Amino acid sequence: EKGGYDYFMLKEIAEQPKAVADTLLGRIDLAGNLCLDEVRIPASVLREVSKVVIVACGTAYHAGMIAKYAIEHWTRIPCETELASEFRYRDPILDQRTLVIAISQSGETMDTLMALRHAREQGAKVLAICNTNGSTIPRESDAVLYTHAGPEVAVASTKAFLTQLVACYLVALYLGQVRGTKWGDEILSVIRELSEIATQVDEVLETMEPVRELARSLASKNTVLFLGRHVGFPVALEGALKLKELAYMHAEGFAAGELKHGPIALIEQDVPVVVVVPSPRGRSVLHDKIVSNIQEIRARGARTIVIAERGDEAVAPYADHLIEIPVTPTLLQPLVATVPLQVFACELATARGNEVDQPRNLAKSVTVE
Ligand code: M6R
């Protein structure tokens, strides 16, 4: 049932191009418009939404963090992303014009479920993004957008994450489309680019041998740090989470802009630092900032592992290890940038003799607090 792979996680990483394509299937019409009629919240209600709040846990929370960038950019609706376990014990300010998006692979995560109940009690509309048909979270929501990742068995989430991202982009673009924001042309071109992503994820998967080799060479390290900016920041958090749960290593993700506010003190000789570099095209200011961050940490002895767009010549001289990813619009980059981090964590876990599919102390679905 592992389809010839040693672990479910490897199989699920390999299934990502299909999972992404399946999640897009039937949701884009021939004219390149989104058709999400299955989201049973009428367009008239979506037009009135004044705030979006995303609640989720773990990896799904990282997908939600990325969604915030996309939603605010394409719709100009204020959006907050919050850990479900924090949200449910606060007194969040919500009303009938708030759209709450609950993201959950299993659809059974207790904190996320409680957060959505809390939101509905206050009159907010809840849209679930979920991978498990008929599970509790979609049943208790006003609407659901299913991810079509297929069953995810490994405890560490991989293909579910990529499809959660796709679903989040679809919701963001759909909200933009329904509300007719000034980004209309950009929305159409991003929808086209989304259709290319499955092929690009496949390209990334074909070039992973050097990443595996690198992971093996780091098996005896104690710490790996991860840095990112903008949508690369949640990707850094996700890379660190994968490493904690699979390799049982100390791993932390930081927003690169925070370096000087503390984390740079952690940089010492030969500490591996993975940096997610935004595209040099588009918002080039982001790119330039991160190149100087890389120079700063390298000058202090860090071993830089740089994930950058193919052909990014400005960053290459500062990379001790360069992992190239395909050219994508900035907001979509997490779909390709996360994949090497999954492979990296999986290989490190194997090299350290850990149980890949069933890491210690963890369960696939967290139905208790
Ligand atoms: O089923 P859910 O998406 O609600 O699960 C949320 C988290 O428990 C889950 O993403 C967890 O963080 C993963 N094991 C991470 O790989």
pLDDT in tens, the chain (369 residues): 899 999 999 999 999 999 999 999 989 887 888 888 788 778 888 899 999 999 999 999 999 999 999 999 999 999 999 999 999 999 899 999 999 999 999 999 999 999 999 999 999 999 999 999 999 999 999 999 999 999 999 999 999 999 999 999 999 999 988 888 777 778 888 988 999 999 999 999 999 999 999 999 999 999 999 999 999 999 999 999 999 999 999 999 999 999 999 999 999 999 999 999 999 887 678 999 999 999 999 999 999 999 999 999 999 999 999 999 999 999 999 999 999 999 999 999 999 999 988 998 998 888 887
Q: How far is CA 362 from CA 17, 58, 128, 248, 355, in A?
A: 27, 12, 24, 12, 11
Instruction: Please tell me the pTM assigned to this model.
Output: 0.97
Question: Pairing relation of β-strands 98-104 and 51-56?
Answer: parallel
Q: Whose CA is nearest to atom 4 of ligand 1?
A: 104
Q: Whose CA is nearest to atom 7 of ligand 1?
A: 58
| 0.85 surpassed by complex ipTM | yes
Instruction: Find the 182 Cα to ligand 1 centroid distance in Å.
Output: 35
Helix 159-179 vs helix 184-206: crossing angle, to nearest 10:
170
- CA-to-CA distance for 41 and 80, rounded, in angstroms? 20
3-state secondary structure of 199: helix
Residue 29: partners with Cβ closer than 8 Å, 6 or more residues away: 35
- In whole angstroms, how large is the CA radius of gyration of the chain? 20
User: What is the spatial order of strands in the sheet that 250-255 belongs to?
Assistant: 250-255, 223-228, 272-276, 303-309, 321-325
Beta-carbon-side half-sphere exposure of residue 330 (alpha carbons within 13 Å): 22
* 106 CA closest ligand 1 atom index: 1
- CA-to-CA distance for 257 and 334, rounded, in angstroms? 18
- CA-to-CA distance for 305 and 326, rounded, in angstroms? 17
Pocket of ligand 1 (CB under 6 A): 57-60, 104-106, 109, 112, 155-157, 241, 245, 365-366
* 242 CA closest ligand 1 atom index: 16
